[in-house]
């Protein structure tokens, strides 16, 4: 029976980062993955392929709607759906190859199979034809999550699908109903509506991307409606049916009025659940909470001292970059280093266009908790850079403590918001004030200037630039 210093179960962003950092710190490390490729959901059927299709569909939409205004004339324009999906697969392959290289470079042992605990100190790895047992001084569980569903909705992976199946479609769908208007739902809606699919979103809440500042969801709804997405809020889905060549979805509004829709596909995007199946946690002292997430402390240590867990499996915000930070945290904790993650300073991003990004407290949270704040809000339509690129939808909103100028929250919907939010994360992490943020020099013209103006306005000053 081979012994390792660190055994990582799962190779998504939390797992592969934990393994690499452990190896860099000099630990004999093994990573266990049941699939042929490393990278987990994010690299294979999540973040990376979704962004590839979002970029492809965005280019098509720009060519279709904006190129003529830019003085660029094209002949006939059409979607080569198989080629678009082939490029997506090529992007994924390059990323997984990069992970293979990093494992080899850092001399990390790879085992293919399903890992299950026999006890607190031994795991069995079961592959296609054999099983082996290994031990480790420390274990890191990074098994991720799987798509969730709701009562009455059976995901058959044929006509009633999740984002995973949507990323492997063989045909260009003419119509699609998406159950859920969260991050996954609106990103999928963006991909398919841009290339001509008739998309309907059914959302239970009264606004999109309900976990973020509500003003962001309302603004995104206006943009997506303008692009042709049918958005129906306050809808409760209670049943779906596979009709063979199509699918039906049945739902009720807040007045209990029943309706139904038929489409080529029904895509279920109602969230994700932690994946602990087959881990053998019942053979350990590791505890789960009432949502099925693994309980951990601030260092991501479970109730067993040498077993840690990171990423989606511990709940909270299910974000790849959160999992990565937790992977580093655990490896360095094992090494005796002091490291800390502030969960409220981890940004959230939606890769629609315009992009949506947020960090810190929402306006709703501050109001609910009677926390005083000033608001600074500046529209992209007043930005010279945004007008030059025809990306004038959206705004930057900053929430600032009126006494000390602390940046409490930053919420952006607009061009390159996913990149702009990093500046706000720095402000929060290092407790930089709003005045500090508007007094630094911003290149002109850039999208980032919308933040400078928002900080100025939150500090009681007017806008000074365009």
Report pLDDT for 77: 92
Which CATH superfamily hosts domain 354-458? FAD/NAD-linked reductase, C-terminal dimerisation domain (3.30.390.30)
Q: What is the pLDDT of residues 161-205, one digit of tens each?
A: 999 999 999 999 999 999 999 999 999 999 999 999 999 999 999
Residues written for the chain? 466
Say which residues have a Cβ less than 8 Å from residue 11's Cβ, sequence separation at least 6: 19, 31, 32, 33, 38, 39, 40, 99, 142
Is the per-residue pLDDT at 369 higher than 90?
A: yes
Predicted TM-score of the model (pTM) = 0.96
pLDDT level of residue 339 (50, 70, 90 thresholds): confident
Q: Which of 59, 70, 342, 444 is catalytic?
A: 444
Is the per-residue pLDDT at 413 higher than 90?
A: yes
Which one, of 94, 95, 100, lies nearest residue 19 by Cα? 100
Q: What is the dihedral of CA 280, 283, 284, 289, to 10 degrees?
A: 60
Report pLDDT for 323: 98
Rounded-to-integer distance, Cα 381 and Cα 432, Å:
27
Rounded-to-integer distance, Cα 421 and Cα 418, Å:
6
Handedness of CA 294, 299, 301, 306 (dihedral sign): positive
Mean pLDDT of 369-395: 97
Helix-then-strand count for the chain, H and E: 13, 22
Rounded-to-integer distance, Cα 249 and Cα 177, Å:
8
Classified by CATH at the fold level, domain 160-270 comes out as FAD/NAD(P)-binding domain (3.50.50)
pLDDT level of residue 462 (50, 70, 90 thresholds): confident
Report pLDDT for 230: 98
Q: What is the pLDDT of residues 21-57, one digit of tens each?
A: 999 999 999 999 999 999 999 999 999 999 999 999 9
Strands 29-33 and 109-112: what pairing? parallel
Q: Where are the domains of the chain?
A: 2-146+273-343, 160-270, 354-458
Report pLDDT for 465: 72
pLDDT level of residue 75 (50, 70, 90 thresholds): confident
Enter the tokens of residue 274. 């932690």
Is the per-residue pLDDT at 128 higher than 90?
A: no
Handedness of CA 333, 95, 116, 110 (dihedral sign): negative
Report pLDDT for 1: 85
Active site residue 411: no
Mean pLDDT of 266-290: 97
Report pLDDT for 16: 98
Question: How far is CA 128 from each of CA 132, 281, 282, rounded to the nearest angstrom?
Answer: 12, 22, 24
81-113 b/e (C-beta count within 10 Å ≥ 16 → b): eeebbebbeebbeebbeebeebbeeeebbebeb
Residues paired with 251 in a beta bridge:
237, 259
Contact (Cβ atoms closer than 8 angstroms) between residue 256 and residue 234: no
What CATH class has 2-146+273-343? alpha beta
Rounded-to-integer distance, Cα 310 and Cα 326, Å:
6
Q: What is the pLDDT of residues 203-226, one digit of tens each?
A: 999 999 999 999 999 999 999 999
- Are the folds of 2-146+273-343 and 160-270 the same? yes
Is the per-residue pLDDT at 464 higher than 90?
A: no
């Amino acid at each position: 029976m081979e012994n390792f210093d660190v055994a990582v179960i799962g190779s998504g962003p939390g797992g592969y980062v934990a393994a690499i950092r452990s190896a860099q710190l000099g630990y004999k490390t093994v990573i266990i993955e049941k699939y042929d490729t490393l990278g987990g959901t994010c690299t294979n059927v999540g973040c990376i392929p979704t962004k590839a299709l979002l970029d492809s569909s965005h280019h098509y939409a720009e060519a279709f709607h904006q190129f003529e205004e830019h003085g660029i004339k094209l002949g006939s324009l059409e979607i080569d759906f198989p080629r678009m999906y082939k490029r997506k697969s090529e992007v994924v392959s390059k990323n997984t190859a990069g992970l293979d290289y990093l494992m080899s470079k850092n001399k990390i042992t790879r085992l293919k199979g399903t890992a299950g605990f026999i006890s607190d100190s031994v795991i069995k790895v079961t592959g296609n034809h054999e099983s082996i047992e290994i031990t480790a001084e420390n274990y890191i569980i990074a098994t991720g999550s799987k798509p969730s569903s709701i009562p009455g909705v059976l995901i058959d992976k044929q006509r009633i699908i999740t984002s995973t199946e949507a990323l492997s479609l063989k045909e260009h769908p003419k119509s699609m109903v998406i159950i859920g208007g969260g991050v996954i739902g609106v990103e999928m809606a963006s991909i398919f509506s841009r290339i001509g699919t008739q998309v309907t979103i059914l959302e239970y809440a009264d606004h999109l991307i309900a976990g973020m500042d509500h003003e962001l969801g309302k603004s995104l709804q206006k943009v997506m409606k303008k692009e042709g997405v049918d958005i129906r809020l306050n809808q409760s889905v209670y049943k779906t049916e596979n009709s063979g060549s199509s699918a039906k979805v049945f739902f009720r509004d807040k007045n209990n009025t029943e309706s139904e829709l038929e489409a080529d596909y029904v895509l279920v995007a109602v969230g994700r659940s932690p994946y602990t199946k087959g881990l053998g946690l019942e053979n350990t002292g590791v505890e789960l909470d009432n949502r099925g997430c693994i309980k951990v402390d601030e260092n991501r240590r479970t109730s067993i001292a040498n077993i840690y867990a990171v990423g989606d499996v511990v709940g909270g915000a299910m974000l790849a970059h959160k999992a990565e930070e937790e992977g580093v945290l655990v490896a360095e904790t094992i090494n005796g280093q002091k490291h800390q993650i502030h969960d409220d300073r981890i940004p959230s991003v939606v890769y629609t266009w315009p992009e949506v990004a947020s960090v810190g407290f929402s306006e709703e949270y501050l109001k609910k908790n009677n926390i005083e704040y000033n608001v600074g809000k500046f529209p992209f339509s007043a930005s010279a850079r945004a007008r030059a690129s025809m990306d004038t939808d959206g705004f930057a909103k900053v929430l600032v403590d009126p006494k000390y100028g602390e940046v409490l929250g930053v919420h952006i919907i607009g061009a390159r918001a996913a990149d702009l939010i990093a500046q706000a994360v720095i402000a929060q992490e290092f407790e930089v004030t709003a005045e500090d943020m508007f007094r630094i020099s911003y290149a002109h013209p850039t999208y980032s200037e919308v933040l400078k103006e928002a900080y100025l306005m939150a500090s009681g000053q007017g806008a000074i630039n365009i």
